[in-house]
Structure 1
Amino acid sequence: MSTESAPTEAELGTAELPSDRFMDREEGWLRFNQRVLELAEDEDIPLLERTRFLAIFSSNLDEFFMVRVAGLKRRLATGLFVASSSGHHPRDLLERVSKVTHELVVRQIACFEESVAPALAEEGIGIVRWNELDTAEREYLHGYFRRSVYPLVTPFTVDSAHPFPYISGRSLNLAVTVRDPDDDRQMFARVKVPASLPRFIEPATSGGGRYVPVEDIIAAHLPQLFEGMHVVEHHAFRVTRNADLEVDEDETDDLVQSLENELLRRRFGPLVRLEVERTISDEVLAILTEELGAEEEEIYRVPGPLNLAGLAQIADADRPDLRYPPMVPGEPRSLTSGDLFATIREREVLVHHPYESFATTTERFLSLAATDPKVVAIKQTLYRTSGDSPIVESLIEAARAGKEVVVLVEVKARFDEQNNIQWARKLERAGCHVVYGVVGLKTHCKLSMVIRQDDDGLLRRYCHVGTGNYNPSTARVYEDLGLFSAADEVGEDVSDLFNSLTGFSRKKHYRRLLVAPAALRQGLLRQIDEEIAAAREGGAARVRIKVNSLVDEEIIDALYRASLAGVRVDLWVRGSCVLRAGVPGLSENIHVRSILGRFLEHSRVFVFENGGRPKVWIGSADLMPRNLDRRVEALVRIADPEQCRRLVGLMDLAMADGTSSWRLEPDGSWTRVTHDENGQLLIDLQEALRGDRHLRVVDGG
């Protein structure tokens, strides 16, 4: 259906949408992390995987405070009292966030203490405190302290000559009270746990499987740090700080240098959370509260050990019997046998990670390009990559071989800034042309283009458009899609987009790409409007979308209008969702599912019914204002009918009543459904895809 025939909102006769149609984004994100916690609570999941989910929950919560809570506090501090989309004042949101977070932390503690830790102990994996160690273990740890800890530790006393030390974000510390036996004077001191030490230490004499929190080892040796003093009490504490970076790209001549300076300041941002051991005395807590400027709702009293993100170390224990069965990715014959470039030239190939190997598809694509004498140039975007990336090495090898290599490195990728700066400089030293994104925007699109002089004498562009980062490490656990194409229209689009990224261009319209910020929002809205028009005319109409986050108000309102017009809307959302589903008179035709499990659902898929010939798009963009308005994102339209059919089948399988998932209720809560009414287990989507290659979106594999 043409754009001109799409009805306006007025033509739809839609009544004004209710003011309470959005949920709070912050609470939506916390409910996502609650789903992670529910996996840790699930006793049907292998034990070390449950341990890892507890670690992920803690790590997620750290980032939530460093970014989302920090943002709310910044709005309050600057006087920007703009209500949220749900109508709540930032102060009300902070109180609500504090309440929900405290509730979740209580659940996390109960899960660890009452379920996971006892189960680990039954399997011979114990997290033990100092007073539970035997004599041999203590003797070993005395030696370990002298060799590996004592040289790194510096105690800081607080008195008139020594001001309260700065506590860096996410550092683990001991608050210590000591008494001078000569004059009975008590003093406060802080001991930082060195970040270079493992979170848990395994005494060599324990025979394996017993882990001691590192702060317990330091606490047991405080008399050596405060020789001649009497240690009265000690308690662990931890601070979380605002970690958002503030770089004015219009006012800096060197973005990389400005970012490096800002990264140094990240450790010293305002406090957003203070975690203390439950046993802390009121006197010591009062000192910390006053010196750190913590408010009551920012204080979290928890039993030790703090920082359960460190449980990832335990989850890595060499116990395959307590983990998911090994994942052996498939290797699509179309890309792993014969001439890869000839295959892509013949037809487009769709790959689905981690079910299909990243190493033998995407990595191989760039590795072959680096050594192929017929390849004359490579253009690549890098948003996040691993520290030992074969992709980066291939780009370096290509540059050293004399090929033209252009790499767009997004140095503003949150929490990967320093890593990306290091790789960018390594690429520059090898002779690559490195570009640091676009002023005012993050470059989030996932693109790779190889230019090759083929045997027929023609210069062809071989492209890869993906949904995930070019990161070999995360590709083993992130679910993502990638399209390999030598189609002229894709090659021209990718060329045009790279030219706009490296030069000056205001291009909006592409052939098979939808690109943000210029046209992606309007392109999606137009296709939703076309489904609405089809429904009004009595035709087939449906919208299927898979994203990580759904918080954009304009897109959500369009989906509400689609529902009111009779369009079925199926939404597969991993993380935060502020849309209200199944609300009478608003969203009765909208169904929202979330799937969490062994793999992190990361791909973005958009399917519009288009009168029975679905338009299917995959790409990098979530449905958030930042993705649609403040990032360079790219979706590519899938042209092959069989690939479209398989992607539609994947979406329908995820949304089916017979598939295990969380379902969003009209009141905003999520209900996990794992069994049918007869008590039979529902399909685990990820396990089904792992075990049955015929269910995957890849053909020819």
Structure 2
Amino acid sequence: MVDERRFLNRELSWLDFDARVLELASEQGIPLLERAKFCAIFSSNLDEFFMVRVAALKDQLAAGIERTSVDGRTPSQQLGEISRRVAELVDHQERVLADELIPALRDHDIAIVSYDDLDEAERKVLDEHYEERVFPVLTPLAVDPSHPFPYISNLSLSIGAMVRDPETDERRFARIKIPDKLPRLIELDGGRFVPVEQLIASQLPGLFLGMEIEEWAMFRVTRNGDLTLEDEEADDLLELVEMELRRRRFNRAVRLEIDERVSEEMLALLVEELELHHADVSRHDRMLDLTALIALHDLPRPDLKDEAWPPVTAGRLVIADELDRPIVSVMRDRAIMVHHPYESFSSSIEAFLKQAAD
């Protein structure tokens, strides 16, 4: 008889791992921009967790599989505990951002500011940027009987708006996708950044001429990203992978992240159209998709980063290069162990693959 108490749940223990990543964002001994990077990594990890692990549990639930894991939890029990744990972690992340990272960044002349906080001259500069760079790549879509609810791609950031025709009093839901090609944070002079979605939201009246903007809110959808390959039956594995990747774009939604200010009406519409449950909704009072913080790490502020560690080439590979010997001949002598990231990836793995291709 297996004692279930002796086992940790795989999914919940993974969340404990990501919690440790988040704790590094609060570690005072780590340079500030590295801490912001860990906050972004936490969000990126959580995206993958939902795309693969939560999606797999939802697939089991949809298939009627209620077999317990080794720790004695059914898929539905695991999803319930994951929902509660993720809510705690996201709340903690937002408190770390608001109470620790943003004030510390401001003390070092780096700030993420709201469009509403800008003066008239700064807004004029951003408005010109919008007309030249942002507006041409926007595609607003309104939902009506002749235009069904639009497809929302995986991990895309969107503005949802309720607009009203003042003449007919007709109300519609509209969606504006934030194009991936746009930088998420627009830099102003002096180390200040404005989220691009705030700039776009400030221009909503111009996108829906003649309509009243009743409300708007940011939202983001995560879809099932698991890749299932029946490679034993495939004639061409590459073709099968390409086909599955195309199909994966249209997989079911597994999570909805949304602005805390959203109305119950808009939230209910999104939940229904995305075929989700309210337990799949994550509400935020800070900017969505904090992977955007990774952009701050590119700032030329070496005083706020770890000192770069230049990787070295493994000793046997150095000798092989000097003797003009291919890597495979060195491997025939005995196996090569390479320690990444301390030893160079480019002079070992990449060089080997290039030599093999040639």
TM-score, normalised on structure 1?
0.48
Q: In the aligned structure 1, how far is the partner of 2:344 from the partner of 2:218? A: 43
> Offset of 1:242 from its aligned partner?
0.4
Secondary structure (helix, strand or coil) at the match of 1:352 reads coil
- Are 1:150 and 2:135 counterparts? yes
- Are 1:339 and 2:323 counterparts? yes
> What percentage of residue pairs aligned between the two structures are identical?
45
Q: 1:390 to 1:236 in 2, by over 3 A?
A: farther
Q: In the aligned structure 1, how far is the partner of 2:169 from the partner of 2:335? A: 79
Aligned mate of 2:35, from 50, 60, 73:
50
Aligned mate of 1:354, from 324, 331, 341:
341
In the alignment, is the contact (CA less than 8 A) between 1:241 and 1:269 conserved in 2?
Answer: yes
| 1:269 paired residue number | 251
Q: 1:343 to 1:271 in 2, by over 3 A?
A: closer
| 1:234 paired residue number | 216
- Offset from partner CA, 1:381-404 (integer Å, 9 cap, x none): xxxxxxxx55554444x2xxxxxx
In the alignment, is the contact (CA less than 8 A) between 1:177 and 1:234 conserved in 2?
Answer: yes
Q: In the aligned structure 2, how far is the partner of 1:123 from the partner of 1:391? A: 43
Alignment of 1:524-535 (within 5 A): none
Letter in 1 for 2:29: D
- Are 1:300 and 2:282 counterparts? yes
Q: 1:345 to 1:61 in 2, by over 3 A?
A: closer
Q: In the aligned structure 2, how far is the partner of 1:51 from the partner of 1:17? A: 43
Letter in 1 for 2:163: V
Q: How many residues align?
A: 353
| 2:97 paired residue number | 112
Q: In the aligned structure 1, how far is the partner of 2:227 from the partner of 2:42? A: 23
Q: In the aligned structure 2, how far is the partner of 1:227 from the partner of 1:106? A: 37
Q: In the aligned structure 2, how far is the partner of 1:253 from the partner of 1:355? A: 40
- Are 1:130 and 2:112 counterparts? no
Q: Which moved more, 1:325-334 or 1:185-194?
A: 325-334
Letter in 2 for 1:357: S
Secondary structure (helix, strand or coil) at the match of 1:236 reads strand
| 2:21 paired residue number | 36
> Offset of 1:334 from its aligned partner?
4.8
Instruction: Please give the root-mean-square deviation of Cα atoms over the aligned residues, in Å.
Output: 2.1
Q: In the aligned structure 1, how far is the partner of 2:134 from the partner of 2:141? A: 16
Q: In the aligned structure 1, how far is the partner of 2:335 from the partner of 2:92? A: 48
Aligned mate of 1:94, from 79, 102, 109:
79
In the alignment, is the contact (CA less than 8 A) between 2:94 and 2:286 conserved in 1?
Answer: no
> Offset of 1:314 from its aligned partner?
1.3
Letter in 1 for 2:35: R
| 1:163 paired residue number | 148
In the alignment, is the contact (CA less than 8 A) between 1:174 and 1:190 conserved in 2?
Answer: yes
Letter in 1 for 2:234: T
Q: 1:162 to 1:343 in 2, by over 3 A?
A: closer
> Offset of 1:122 from its aligned partner?
1.2
| 1:60 paired residue number | 45
| 1:631 paired residue number | none
- Are 1:183 and 2:168 counterparts? yes
Q: 1:347 to 1:265 in 2, by over 3 A?
A: closer
- Are 1:23 and 2:35 counterparts? no
Q: 1:340 to 1:150 in 2, by over 3 A?
A: same
Q: 1:97 to 1:184 in 2, by over 3 A?
A: same
Q: In the aligned structure 1, how far is the partner of 2:65 from the partner of 2:9? A: 17
Q: In the aligned structure 2, how far is the partner of 1:245 from the partner of 1:235? A: 31
Q: 1:332 to 1:254 in 2, by over 3 A?
A: closer
Secondary structure (helix, strand or coil) at the match of 1:48 reads helix
- Are 1:258 and 2:258 counterparts? no
Q: In the aligned structure 2, how far is the partner of 1:165 from the partner of 1:76? A: 26
As a proportion of its length, which structure holds more helix?
A: 2
Letter in 2 for 1:352: H
As a proportion of its length, which structure holds more strand?
A: 1
Q: 1:253 to 1:108 in 2, by over 3 A?
A: same
In the alignment, is the contact (CA less than 8 A) between 1:179 and 1:185 conserved in 2?
Answer: yes
Q: 1:248 to 1:333 in 2, by over 3 A?
A: closer
Letter in 2 for 1:356: E
Secondary structure (helix, strand or coil) at the match of 2:210 reads coil
> Offset of 1:45 from its aligned partner?
0.7
Q: In the aligned structure 1, how far is the partner of 2:227 from the partner of 2:311? A: 38
Secondary structure (helix, strand or coil) at the match of 1:67 reads helix
| 1:658 paired residue number | none
Secondary structure (helix, strand or coil) at the match of 2:37 reads helix
Alignment of 1:193-592 (within 5 A): 193-203=178-188, 206-207=189-190, 209-337=191-319, 338-339=322-323, 341=325, 350-360=337-347, 362=348, 392-396=353-357, 398=358
- Offset from partner CA, 1:19-54 (integer Å, 9 cap, x none): 322111000100000010011111211000001101
Letter in 2 for 1:135: E
In the alignment, is the contact (CA less than 8 A) between 2:255 and 2:282 conserved in 1?
Answer: yes
In the alignment, is the contact (CA less than 8 A) between 1:193 and 1:215 conserved in 2?
Answer: yes
Letter in 2 for 1:304: R
Unaligned 5+ segments in structure 1 are 1-15, 364-388, 399-701
Q: In the aligned structure 1, how far is the partner of 2:194 from the partner of 2:43? A: 19
When Rg is computed on C-alpha atoms for both structures, the one with the higher figure is: 1
> Offset of 1:345 from its aligned partner?
7.8
> Offset of 1:229 from its aligned partner?
1.2
Alignment of 1:678-697 (within 5 A): none
- Are 1:70 and 2:55 counterparts? yes
- Offset from partner CA, 1:416-465 (integer Å, 9 cap, x none): xxxxxxxxxxxxxxxxxxxxxxxxxxxxxxxxxxxxxxxxxxxxxxxxxx
Q: 1:53 to 1:158 in 2, by over 3 A?
A: same
- Offset from partner CA, 1:323-362 (integer Å, 9 cap, x none): 01121334555542553759878876644232233444x1
| 1:628 paired residue number | none
Q: Which moved more, 1:223-232 or 1:47-56?
A: 223-232
Structure 1 runs of 4+ with >6 Å offset: 342-348
Q: In the aligned structure 2, how far is the partner of 1:266 from the partner of 1:331? A: 39
In the alignment, is the contact (CA less than 8 A) between 1:334 and 1:340 conserved in 2?
Answer: no
Q: In the aligned structure 1, how far is the partner of 2:31 from the partner of 2:42? A: 17
Secondary structure (helix, strand or coil) at the match of 1:136 reads helix
In the alignment, is the contact (CA less than 8 A) between 1:66 and 1:244 conserved in 2?
Answer: yes
Letter in 1 for 2:50: F
Letter in 1 for 2:16: R
Letter in 2 for 1:299: V
- Are 1:80 and 2:65 counterparts? yes
Secondary structure (helix, strand or coil) at the match of 1:274 reads strand
Letter in 2 for 1:45: I
Letter in 2 for 1:81: E
Letter in 2 for 1:242: N
Q: In the aligned structure 2, how far is the partner of 1:343 from the partner of 1:75? A: 47
Q: In the aligned structure 2, how far is the partner of 1:328 from the partner of 1:246? A: 38
Q: In the aligned structure 2, how far is the partner of 1:246 from the partner of 1:328? A: 38
> Offset of 1:172 from its aligned partner?
0.5
Comparing both chains, which one has the higher relative contact order based on Cα–Cα distances under 8 Å and sequence gaps of 6 or more?
A: 2
Q: In the aligned structure 2, how far is the partner of 1:237 from the partner of 1:344? A: 51
Secondary structure (helix, strand or coil) at the match of 1:356 reads coil
